């Protein structure tokens, strides 16, 4: 049953993360280098404090160009209202949340700490593996 498949079974554990005091251009370089569209922002204890996306970075550069003071830290540009999920959440529940909202990924938080991230890609992989497994059982 797909409901028994948990986020923890498919989440990515090794993430690129930032701190709020990370320089905007350092963050942009890391996003580009790792070919990712965003990354969680954590405090010194590993607690999630925000999310930095390509859009946030663009906003930072454009505001900077407008005010002729480009740069600064990502604290000014990151999103602080972040939708998260638990490692114990069902894959189905997360898939439904992806379909309802426009998010591409959810940080996975346990006991206030960032433990991973689940993306649409990860959920698709889980659903595909489950569907193939079920198909194999019907044929066998």
Q: State the pLDDT at residue 61.
A: 87
What are the two backbone dihedrals, phi and then psi, of residue 11, each rounded to the nearest 5 degrees? -70, 155
Q: What is the mean pLDDT of residues 20-41?
A: 94
Cα 140 to Cα 121: distance, rounded to the nearest angstrom: 29
Chain position carrying tokens 């554990």: 13
Q: pLDDT for 95-138, tens place per residue? A: 999 999 888 889 999 998 999 999 999 999 988 888 887 777 66
**Enclosing domain of residue 87:** 2-138
> CB pairs under 8 A, 24+ apart, for 42-45?
42/17, 42/18, 42/114, 43/19, 44/19, 45/113
Q: Give the CATH number of the domain where residue 123 resides.
A: 3.10.580.10
Overall domain count for the chain: 1
Stated pTM of the model? 0.82
């Amino acid at each position: 049953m797909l409901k028994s498949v948990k986020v923890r079974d498919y989440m990515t554990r090794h993430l690129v993360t930032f701190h709020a005091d990370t320089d905007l251009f350092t963050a942009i370089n890391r996003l580009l280098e790792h070919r990712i569209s965003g990354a969680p922002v954590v405090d010194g204890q590993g607690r999630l404090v925000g999310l930095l996306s390509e859009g946030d970075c663009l906003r930072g550069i454009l505001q900077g160009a407008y005010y002729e003071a480009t740069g600064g830290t990502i604290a000014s540009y990151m999103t602080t209202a972040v939708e998260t999920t638990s490692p114990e959440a069902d894959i189905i529940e997360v898939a439904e949340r992806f379909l309802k909202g426009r998010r591409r990924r959810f940080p996975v938080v346990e006991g206030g700490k960032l433990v991973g991230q689940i993306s649409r890609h990860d959920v698709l992989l889980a659903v595909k593996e489950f569907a193939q497994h079920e198909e194999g059982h019907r044929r066998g």
